[in-house]
Structure 1
Amino acid sequence: MTSLFQHGTLAMLMGKQMQGTITVGELLQHGDTGIGTLSGLDGEVIILNGQVYQAQSDGQVNHITDETTLLPFASVHFDKPTKKLPFNTVNFETLSDKLKDSKLHNIFSAINFHGEFPHVHVRIVPKQIEPFPSLLELSTHQPEFTKDNISGTLVGYYAPEIFNGPTAAGWHLHFLSDDKTFSGHLLDFSATNVIGNLQVFDEFVQHLPLDNTGFRNMELDLEGLHSGIEASEGGKK
């Protein structure tokens, strides 16, 4: 059995619950690879080989070594590839088509590959303080960065449409350059010399912050939730 572990939900972030509710140390017990964000939506997190990196909204990248650092939302898994990726070149628009033979539309899966990137376009959410806004309110005020001709690693997940709300349906991808100076949530990319893997999961573990008062008292406006998540995530599905 292969498991994808997710702490928190995107619906929580839409509901203005951005306080950290799991530590880095606790999260790493459930996986060595993944993506997420820090307390207050402080940047974009990518986890590779058990190491945690944070892209800040000023464009800097930090190596997070303090295991007490808190996250409100993250997805992780132990890297145990299902199969090698069947392509050498890819971009955001062609990713799903190149994997159509894997029939991913009804299952959770992870992609993890290294490559040369002629173009990368990312956004990085800025840190928020209480009282928190909704994720949708932040979607039009997120710094964006581009970089051309850079090598690095792409990590992220595909989620079925039926799970839109707990997570983001479609692809949710983060990038980290080899020199650890450029990272973020991918809005667009093109890649060549791709070497990496696809991993599919037969178990999705949803972990909720039951001891957090804000989460327990949260009232969600479900109308427009899915369109709000799509707008806040950006990128191409």
Structure 2
Amino acid sequence: MTSLYQHGTLAMLMGKQMQGTITAAELLKHGDTGIGTLTGLNGEVIILEGQVYQAQSDGQVNHITDLETLLPFASVHFYKPTQALPFDAVDFTTLSDKLQAAQLRNIFSSVNFHADFSRMHVRIAPKQVPPFPSLLEVATNQPEFEMANVTGTVMGYYAPEIFNGPTAAGWHLHFLSDDKTFAGHILDFSASHVTGTLQIFDEFVQHLPVQDAGFRAMALDLEGLHSGITASEGGKK
């Protein structure tokens, strides 16, 4: 059995619950690879080979070595690839098409690949302070960065449409350059010389911060939840 472990929900961030509720140390017990964000939506986290990196909204990339650092939302798994990726070149809009034979529509999966990127376009959430705004409010004013001719790693997840709310339906991908100086939540990319893997999960473990008073008291606007998540993720699925 291969498991994808997720702490918190994307709906929580839409509901203004951005307080950290799990430590990096606890999270790493459930996986050595993944993505997430820090307390106050402070940047974009990518976890590779058990190491935690944070892209800040000023463009700086940090190696997080304090494992007591808190996260409100993250997804992790242990890297045990299902198959090699069947393509040498890809961009954000063609990723699903190139994996069509894998029939991912109704399952959770992840990609992890290294490539040369002629273009990498990312955004990075800026740190928020209490009282927290909603994720959608933050998404309307996020710094974006582009880099041409960069080599690095893309890591992220595909989630079925029915799980839009607990997480983001479609692809949610983060990037980290080889030199650890450029990273973020991917809005678009164009890649060649792709080498990497697809991993399929037959179990989705949703962990909730039930001891957190803010989460217990949270009220959600369910009517606008899905459209808000799509907008906050960059509008591409």
| TM-score, length basis structure 1 | 0.99
Offset of 1:235 from its aligned partner?
A: 5.1
Query: Is there any run of 5+ residues in structure 2 with no aligned partner, and where?
Result: none
The alignment yields a C-alpha RMSD, in angstroms, of 0.5
SS in 2 for 1:52: strand
Letter in structure 1 aligned against 2:223: E
- The CA deviation string for residues 20-59 of structure 1, in whole angstroms up to 9 with x for no partner, is 0000000000000000000000000000000000000000
Letter in structure 1 aligned against 2:21: T
SS in 1 for 2:150: strand
Q: How does 1:1-237 map to 2 (within 5 A)?
A: 1-234=1-234, 236-237=236-237
Partners of 1:78 and 1:137 in 2: how far apart? 33
Offset of 1:236 from its aligned partner?
A: 2.4
Partners of 2:219 and 2:143 in 1: how far apart? 29
> Is the 2:230–2:236 contact (alpha carbons within 8 Å) kept by the matching residues of 1?
no
> Is the 1:57–1:125 contact (alpha carbons within 8 Å) kept by the matching residues of 2?
yes
> Is the 1:186–1:235 contact (alpha carbons within 8 Å) kept by the matching residues of 2?
no
Letter in structure 2 aligned against 1:42: N
Number of residue-to-residue matches in the alignment: 237
- The CA deviation string for residues 141-188 of structure 1, in whole angstroms up to 9 with x for no partner, is 000000000000000000000000000000000000000000000000
Partners of 1:88 and 1:173 in 2: how far apart? 18
Partners of 2:57 and 2:221 in 1: how far apart? 28
Partners of 1:151 and 1:125 in 2: how far apart? 22
SS in 1 for 2:39: coil
Offset of 1:139 from its aligned partner?
A: 1.1
Q: As a proportion of its length, which structure holds more helix?
A: 2
Letter in structure 1 aligned against 2:19: Q
SS in 2 for 1:191: strand
Partners of 2:74 and 2:235 in 1: how far apart? 19
Partners of 1:93 and 1:184 in 2: how far apart? 18
SS in 2 for 1:162: helix
CA distance change for structure 1 residues 172 and 21 in 2, over 3 Å: closer, same or farther? same
> Is the 1:158–1:170 contact (alpha carbons within 8 Å) kept by the matching residues of 2?
yes
Offset of 1:77 from its aligned partner?
A: 0.2
Where has structure 1 moved over 2 Å in runs of 4 or more?
A: none
SS in 1 for 2:93: coil
SS in 1 for 2:219: coil
| TM-score, length basis structure 2 | 0.99
Partners of 1:29 and 1:91 in 2: how far apart? 32
Partners of 2:36 and 2:67 in 1: how far apart? 15
Partners of 1:225 and 1:44 in 2: how far apart? 21
Letter in structure 1 aligned against 2:45: V
Letter in structure 2 aligned against 1:111: V
> Is the 1:6–1:75 contact (alpha carbons within 8 Å) kept by the matching residues of 2?
yes
SS in 2 for 1:205: strand
> Is the 1:188–1:235 contact (alpha carbons within 8 Å) kept by the matching residues of 2?
no
Offset of 1:224 from its aligned partner?
A: 1.1
